[in-house]
Amino acid sequence: MKKIQLNNPKLGELRFPIEITDPPKFGFIVSASASSAYENGKAVEGQLSKINIGVVNFETAKLLKNSGGSVSDLATINVEYIAENAELQKVNPKELIGKVIDLSKAEAGLKWVSRGSGGSWGGIKVIIDKITLVNSEANKGN
């Protein structure tokens, strides 16, 4: 875990053990998009900072699907895949949608919430440094 400077903390870099939250072990991916890297307020061409992934609890999604419901009505959990640009470039966010991701080795962090022309820290996000997709068939008994 990266150490935080007490006299000059960057709140966005704070990480907590995922166990302080109640995340699902597996998430069903309902949305995914890449975020450009920025330097001095301008997007850096060809550079990514993270992949944003929206998930719902896999067990809940499975129950809804089996009863004919839709996951579109469920609130999503924000997951950020943060890695080096070269690793991020290997991921096609559109190909993640509909897959199941392992969240057991994730961390928790503060989430920035935009409010009009500003924003503030107003939530918790899940952070991963590796995307581990799992076979949803293998989790039927879990």
pTM of structure: 0.86
Question: What's the CA gap between 121 and 119, in Å, rounded?
Answer: 7
Q: What is the pLDDT of residue 14?
A: 84
Query: Are 81 and 131 a contacting pair, CB within 8 Å?
Result: yes
Class for domain 11-137, per CATH?
Answer: mainly beta
The ranges assigned to domains in the chain are 11-137
Query: Are 110 and 121 a contacting pair, CB within 8 Å?
Result: yes
pLDDT in tens, 83-115: 999 999 999 999 999 999 999 999 999 998 888
Question: What's the CA gap between 106 and 23, in Å, rounded?
Answer: 9
Residues 6+ apart with CB under 8 A from 61: 28, 71, 74
pLDDT in tens, 16-30: 889 888 889 999 999
Residue 71, burial from CB neighbour count under 10 angstroms (0-12, 13-18, 19+): middle
Query: Are 31 and 53 a contacting pair, CB within 8 Å?
Result: yes
Phi, psi of 14 (to 5 degrees): -65, 135
